[in-house]
Amino acid sequence: MTSTDVVLEVRDLAKFYPVRRGIVLKRHVGEVKAVDGVSLSLRRGKTLGLVGESGSGKSTLAKVLVGIEKPTRGQILVDGEDVSNLGRAERRELRRHIQMVFQDPYTSLNPRMSVGEIVGEAYAIHPDAVPAGGKAKAVRELLDRVGLNPDHIHRYPHQFSGGQRQRIGIARALAVRPKILLCDEPVSALDVSIQGQVINLLEELQDDLGLSYLFIAHDLSIVRHIADEVAVMYLGRLVESGTDAEVYEVPSHPYTRALMSAVPVPDPSLRDQRREIVLEGDMPSPVDPPQGCHFHTRCWLAPLMESRVDPAGSQSRSIPTICRTESPKLGALESPDHLAACHFADDVSAH
Amino acid sequence: MTTDPTRDGTPVPLLQVDDLAIEFATPDGVVRAVDGLSYSVSAGRTLAIVGESGSGKSVSSLAVMGLLQQPPARIVRGSIRFGGTELLSLGQKAHRAVCGENIAMVFQDALAALNPVHTVGWQLTEALRARHGMSRRDATARAVELLDLVKVPNAKQRVKEYPHQFSGGMRQRVMIAMALSMDPEVLIADEPTTALDVTVQAQIMRLLSEIQAERQMGLILITHDMGVVANVADDVTVMYAGRAVEQASVFDIYAAPAHPYTRALLGSIPRLDQKGGGLAVIPGRPPDPTQVPAGCAFHPRCAFAEDVCRADPPPPTVSLPFDRTSACHFAEEVMNHDEH
Ligand SMILES: Nc1ncnc2c1ncn2[C@@H]1O[C@H](COP(=O)(O)OP(=O)(O)OP(=O)(O)O)[C@@H](O)[C@H]1O
Ligand SMILES: Nc1ncnc2c1ncn2[C@@H]1O[C@H](COP(=O)(O)OP(=O)(O)OP(=O)(O)O)[C@@H](O)[C@H]1O
Ligand code: SF4
Ligand SMILES: [Mg+2]
Ligand SMILES: [Mg+2]
């Protein structure tokens, strides 16, 4: 991967939210480690899919990248330039290049603003981004571009369906001609038959405009469809990343394996052939994540490894000491770009 | 309750819905939310009802439970029978009483339905205390049993806790336990896993299947996830704009869908095990319920539509081999159509 291929790079990014107790004094009693040391690169014109259970930190990462939240530590580089080292004006200019499409097309649009006002709003913040023909013309072109009728520019959000509202959200994000679009669950609120329309629109726009996407979704099948590369998050950290084929076909972290196996395949004839790894319990709290490997409390592989290390060990669920004490590093597997953070990554596919 | 097989070996259905039609009076006009829906479910079988948002899945289930607010709703015609009893002629109170003992429902948005000011144990046994005058101590013991049944760890401790102390998946287990508290013969689960992660979804679906098999319950599973349907259903009813457009066994419907909507739906879902090119889509969007198109309601979005589809509604059930039906003028052609 040459560095000019990379449009967005994140190094050791973290975002902690303070936890306060008490109504008057608001004592600081701890921290929610929503994102804790994430490094990743987004390649130009490509799509990086980000998956993981609810609460794993996906939206927080996106909010830090788009500038809604300030990082606790770490660096964000756009086209190789560290955003935090820039002056205010330059930073704003750089920020323009990262725009966001939100999950809920019903609440993410201001109901009192017309479609034209919503889509053109960003020009007020970035006047230099208004194209030569003027704002009104630009907005009409954008609506046309996302498959909406430009004559509907004076209508209000409630006059549109969910899929159309999501198109409005996309037009708004595209107004200032960004390089990068962060899509946070852009289709999960839509009906299956409408999801495909929005996904196809995003793919078309990417081809035509050379956009790069960070695509966040619960739905692993949609990510499989749209992503070139995939990163898997668990409790604020990346546990695996690689090309779409590497992560989906050779999942190398026990958590990724479990996630993949839990997705039901829409083919009844495969019903009994698939082995599903059922993870016990829920994700632990990010206020007090487990020591060592964050995943060890739910890991299905660790007990198997323990019985190999110590066959005479107790019958109850016992975990290798290394999993309980040492946080595994995100390390390369067979290809240098396929990374997994597990002490026993090499054993995952054998089981 | 008789569940003996009839002479030809097919079990007698526990619950049978026939030609059900439901309207709502709204300021924008009359909404025909359900229009001629028929289905049945037998002991130990799972019927999946799938369809787009607004297609009438929840409204028809509320009608089965006797829980429709009338008005604004009105049951225009049809029949809902449990065992031999016609529920719609009972009056809503008696109807609900029959359901209370025999049919239970896990409601859509169940996660918001738990009351934050009462403990989970209190809520689990509310019906038992009210209906059977169960003592406090017996009720607590029963609540622990119920939480054990749905595999909530540490049940003894957790009955004393409040809903906010439960994760989304655990709350859904509580809702299922609540539905099971009266030992129903039929369980209707309305989108039981929609808001949950795949890992938790897998846990909940496994739990439901186990309990169903053990008790030989009839299960009606309302979902939009064609993957879940493929994994657990025996029979499938596909709804579009208030109608059942296709009904078949799960294997038949996936192997050769006989309605263009089903065909398009199955064609438009991305798959985990396949990297495809462009995603097939269904053009347009579901109709405005106050302005359902004339002829076949699906015709503006249909790849098979001809003039007859714009003019005449298709027969509600075109019978096909293997006991399947499709509401399409070209059902047979669609079923035999091979594009893959
Ligand atoms: N403003 C905040 N203050 C405190 N904690 C927060 C805040 N925002 C998020 N969190 C916590 O940070 C963690 C990560 O949340 P985040 O929304 O990033 O998860 P996510 O992966 O996007 O989940 P989902 O799939 O449900 O959208 C969660 O535990 C969440 O409760
Ligand atoms: N109280 C009501 N007043 C008027 N119309 C209603 C009412 N309740 C439901 N409807 C209409 O009835 C139709 C069927 O709604 P229903 O809730 O059964 O859909 P659904 O298939 O369950 O959809 P979803 O997948 O979104 O849950 C919709 O058009 C809805 O707008
Ligand atoms: S490091 Fe240990 S606990 Fe963590 S995923 Fe690997 S085997 Fe499981
Ligand atoms: Mg999120
Ligand atoms: Mg519903």
3-state secondary structure chain B: CCCCECCCCCECCCEEEEEEEEEEEECCEEEEEEEEEEEEECCCCEEEEEECCCCCHHHHHHHHHCCCCCCCEEEEEEEEEECCEECCCCCHHHHHHHHHHHEEEECCCHHHHCCCCCCHHHHHCHHHHHHHCCCHHHHHHHHHHHHHHCCCCCHHHHCCCCHHHCCHHHHHHHHHHHHHCCCCCEEEEECCCCCCCHHHHHHHHHHHHHHHHHHCCEEEEECCCHHHHHHHCCEEEEEECCEEEEEEEHHHHHHCCCCHHHHHHHHCCCCCCCCCCCCCCCCCCCCCCCCCCCCCCCHHHCCCCCHHHHHCCCCCCEEECCCEEECCCCHHHHHHCCCC
The answer on A139 and A243 residing in a single domain is no
CB spacing of B272 vs A224 below 8 angstroms: yes
- Cβ-defined contact of B198 to A259 (cutoff 8 Å): yes
Within-domain flag for A157? yes
Is B291 touching ligand 2 by the criterion CB < 6 Å?
no
ipTM of the prediction: 0.81
Q: Is there an atom of ligand 3 within 6 Å of A296 CB?
A: yes
pLDDT of residue B59: 94
- How much distance in Å is there from the Cα of A49 to the middle of ligand 4? 13
**CA separation for the pair B162, B121 (Å, rounded):** 9
Q: How far apart are CA B132 and CA A328, in angstroms?
A: 55
* Cα of A350 from ligand 3 centre, angstroms: 14
CATH code of A39's domain: 3.40.50.300
Residues A212 and A144 in one domain: no
- Residues in A closer than 8 angstroms to B272, CB to CB, are 220-221, 224, 248, 260, 263, 265
Q: Is the pLDDT of residue A67 over 90?
A: no
Those residues whose beta carbon sits under 5 angstroms from the ion ligand 4 are: A 59
- Picking from A173, A195, A212, the residue at the C-terminal end of a domain is A173
Length of chain B: 340
Q: Using CB atoms within 10 A of its CB, is residue A85 exposed (0-12), middle (13-18) or buried (19+)?
A: exposed
Confidence bin at A238 (pLDDT 50/70/90): very high
Residues A247-288 have pLDDT tens digits of 999 999 999 999 999 888 889 998 877 777 878 777 888 888
| Tokens matching residue A176 | 């200032």
Q: What is the pLDDT of residue B28?
A: 80
Amino acid making up residue A240: E
Bond from prior residue into B71 cis (ω within 30 degrees of 0): yes
Q: What pLDDT shows up at residue B148? A: 87
Q: Does B227 reach chain A within 8 Å, measured CB to CB?
A: yes
- Residue A104 in any domain: the answer is no
Q: List CB contacts (< 8 A) between B270 and chain A.
A: 199, 221-222, 224-225
Asked whether residue A91 falls in the same domain as residue A149, the answer is: no
User: Are residues A121 and A229 both part of a single domain?
Assistant: no
Is A105 within a domain? no
User: Which of A58-67, A302-311, A331-340, B70-79 shows the lowest per-residue confidence on average (mean pLDDT)?
Assistant: A302-311
Instruction: Give a yes or no: residue A123 inside a domain.
Output: yes
Residue B15, phi then psi, degrees to nearest 5: -125, 130
From A128, A148, A173, the end of a domain falls on A173
Q: Which residues from A are below 8 Å from B194, CB to CB?
A: none
| Closest CA of chain B from A281, distance in Å | 8
pLDDT at position A313 over 70: no
Write the residue with the smallest CA distance to atom 7 of ligand 1: A17
Answering whether pTM is above 0.90, one says no
User: In the prediction, which pLDDT does A309 show?
Assistant: 63
Q: Is the pLDDT of residue A315 over 70?
A: no
Residues A35 and A153 in one domain: no
Task: Say whether both A35 and A88 belong to one domain.
Answer: yes
Task: Confirm or reject contact between A262 and chain B (CB < 8 A).
Answer: yes
Mean pLDDT of chain A: 87
Chain A partners within 8 Å of B286 (Cβ): 191, 193
Asked if residue A329 is part of any domain, the answer here is: yes
User: What pLDDT is attached to residue B3?
Assistant: 43
Tell me, yes or no, if A217 comes closer than 8 A to chain B by beta carbon.
Answer: no
Asked, for residue A149, whether it belongs to a domain, the answer is yes
Are A211 and A294 members of one domain? yes
Residue B316 Cα to ligand 5 midpoint, Å, equals 22
Is the CB of residue B228 less than 8 Å from the CB of residue B189?
Answer: no
The protein residue whose alpha carbon is closest to atom 11 in ligand 1 is A34
Give the pLDDT means over successive 10-residue stretches in chain B (340 positions): 48 90 89 93 95 91 92 94 92 90 86 84 84 82 89 87 84 88 92 83 88 93 92 95 94 94 90 75 83 92 93 83 88 79
Separation between Cα atoms, residue A151 and residue A174, nearest integer Å: 19
d(CA A38, CA A15): 10
> What residue has token string 């739910």?
A298
* A146 and A196 together in one domain: no
Assess whether the C-beta atom of B212 lies below 6 angstroms from ligand 2: no
Provide the domain limits for residue A118.
111-173
A258 lines ligand 3 (CB under 6 A): no
Q: Is the CB of A305 under 6 A from ligand 3?
A: yes
∠ CA(A148), CA(A150), CA(A151), 5° rounding?
A: 120
Specify whether A268 is located in the same domain as A202.
yes
Q: Of the candidates A148, A173, A198, which is a domain's last residue?
A: A173
- The tally of domains found in chain A comes to 2
Please say if the pLDDT value at position A215 is more than 80: yes
Please tell me the residue having the least CA distance from ligand 3 atom 2: A323
In a domain, A296, yes or no: yes
Of chain B, the percentage scoring pLDDT greater than 90 comes to 46
List, in order, residues 6 or more apart from B20 with CB less than 8 Å away.
Answer: B34, B36, B37, B38, B60, B63, B75, B77, B78, B79, B80
What atom in ligand 1 is closest to the CA of residue A233? Answer: 21
Same-domain pairing of A65 and A193: yes
Which among A245, A266, A281 has the least Cβ separation from residue B269?
A266
Q: Are residues A248 and A225 part of one domain?
A: yes
Residue B127 sits at the chain A interface (C-beta within 8 Å): no
Instruction: Collect all residues with Cβ–Cβ distance below 8 Å to A99 and sequence separation of at least 6.
Output: A66, A122, A173, A174, A176, A178, A180, A181, A182
For residue A240, the distance in angstroms to the closest alpha carbon of chain B comes to 17
**How many of the other CB atoms lie within 10 Å of CB of A144?**
13
Residue A189 has a pLDDT of: 78
Q: Which has the closest alpha carbon to A337: A252, A216, A258?
A: A252
- The first and second tokens of residue A98, run together, are 């990262």
In whole angstroms, give the CA distance from residue B158 to residue B140: 11
Is the residue at A312 inside a domain? yes
Same domain, A90 and A162: no
